[in-house]
Amino acid sequence: MLNYRPAFGVVLFLLLTSCGAFFNQPYERERARIGETSPVTNRLKEFPLPQEPVVAGVYNFKDQTGQYKAVENGSTFSTAVSQGGTTMLIKALEDSKWFTVIERENLGNLLNERNIIRSTRDEYRKNKNPNEPTLPALLYAGVLLEGGVISYDTNIITGGAGARYLGIGSSTQYRQDRITVYLRAVSTSTGKILKTVYISKTILSQAVSATLFKYVKYQRLLETEIGFTKNEPVQLAMKEAIEKAVENLIVEGIKDKIWLPRLSEESTVKLIQDFDAEKDEAISTELYERFLTERRGDYVVSTALGGALINGDLPNPQPEFNSKIGFKRTLNPYLDLGFTYNKYNLENKELINEGFMSFDLNIEYKVLPYDNFTPYLFGGVGTNASNYFKTIDPKLQVGFGLEYLIKDNLGVYLYGEHNLVFSDEIDGVVSGKIDDMFYRFGIGINFYLSKPDTKFNKRKKLKKLEKAELKLLKKENRRQMQEKNKAKRLLKNNN
């Protein structure tokens, strides 16, 4: 009897690890539904109302890229970007309640229909009712909204991972595209461009698959494959980018007093401050979502544990315990000046095991100072002393490390260090022309005693203060309410 248990177990594992394929697989026809919304859609609908809506016309908000969909083989005349940008923009303007949108995309159809109404009324007026009112005049736009999709970049990031062993494997792939829109407001009375905004949105595609190709028995081959692909719809990404452009256009107009909200002065100031904070964050964020701001404070206390390994004249060096504590002062985002005290042992198996200490002064260079994760290089001078200061030798040290910020004031780091001592007597043996040296390595923690004085941290502090003040105000209001209720009860009992 054939034993299918191993193959069945593998298949079951693949099914479980790729169960997303089944959870996302449509089994029945889906009915028509109301279109999807985005977080920006909800923000637009909940946006403060204007003092007076602006009459706006949109003639054309078009795809200016001219790109066609990319295919593996041959060519296609399908466009990469939706051609319904004007309709999306009109819907976003309507959702915001800040604009009275008038028909301009198909103005010819509107004018033809008005001519038909006018001629029909003229005939009716002649024959039956001479007092029939004339057709009211068309609204004219105070502002024209122009622009379009100016860029659609494919494969700005691609990647994946996979593994296969004995015919069993799985893989994942991803791809990121990017769509960019511009929107500008033009005054119809002067032709002046009042405001221009620029918005980008990334589009993610992912694929996950698992395969099995294995002989489970002589002349019995088992082959399975499972997987799924998810592609973020370009239309939804374009819609969200247009809605974000409308939101930014409104706030930019409020900031420059082109139009005014139905808000108090304090609420208007807060709205503009929140927008400026988001704008500053966007300016500090690079293309690949790297947020560039100073993250590390000026003063750092550092501690680490690890090992030390001698490289001298004796054979069989053994790693021994090493510990250190230090203090660093930031000179600029890239450079630190640090002082460390190290306590460690150096050992050659069954020959020498002696304790040492060192006092080191280093210059440290951070490669990516604006990221949570950064490699760094360091080097400097120091002294190497035995435990009882019988010998004190000068030395040079250079090293390399990796640091990751867990929190704003706490970082974990790994390091390795090469120490060159100007003495050949560290291991007690003088031999050859090369001085003794040793290596240190370990893992440690950096405690940042302060935060960088950036506008982002200032805003965080301000928000914390506002929350604390609001909490105190609520507490005071609650106390006053309790006292009023107590006075009412006492008055009622006396009566």
Q: Domains of the chain: which residue ranges?
A: 15-23+36-104+141-259, 299-448
- CATH, domain range 15-23+36-104+141-259: 3.40.50.10610
Count of Cβ atoms closer than 10 Å to residue 250 Cβ: 27
Report CA Rg, the chain.
35
Please give the pLDDT value at position 64.
Answer: 83
Interatomic CA distance for residues 315 and 296, integer angstroms: 43
Interatomic CA distance for residues 143 and 448, integer angstroms: 52
Percentages of the chain per state (helix, strand, coil), in multiples of 5: 30, 40, 30
Please give the pLDDT value at position 287.
Answer: 61
| Helix, strand or coil, per DSSP, at residue 369 | coil
Orientation of helix 455-494 relative to helix 265-283, angle to 10°: 150
299-448: CATH topology: Porin (2.40.160)
pTM for this model (two decimals): 0.68
Q: For the chain, what is the total number of helices (H) and then of strands (E)?
A: 8, 16
Sequential pLDDT tens for the chain (495 residues): 445 455 455 445 555 554 555 556 666 777 888 878 888 888 888 888 888 889 998 988 888 887 777 776 665 777 888 888 888 999 999 988 899 988 888 888 888 888 888 888 777 766 666 666 777 888 888 899 998 898 888 888 888 888 888 888 888 898 888 899 999 999 988 888 998 998 888 888 888 888 888 887 877 888 888 888 888 888 888 899 999 999 999 998 888 888 888 888 888 888 888 888 777 777 766 666 666 677 788 899 999 999 999 998 888 899 999 999 999 999 888 899 999 999 999 988 878 888 999 999 999 999 988 888 899 999 999 999 887 778 888 999 999 999 999 988 899 999 999 999 998 888 888 887 888 899 999 999 999 988 776 655 555 555 666 666 667 767 777 777 777 777 777 777 776
Contacts of residue 61, defined as CB under 8 A and 6 or more positions apart, other chains included, come to 85, 86, 88, 89, 145, 146, 147, 148, 183, 242
Interatomic CA distance for residues 119 and 155, integer angstroms: 56
Interatomic CA distance for residues 244 and 44, integer angstroms: 9
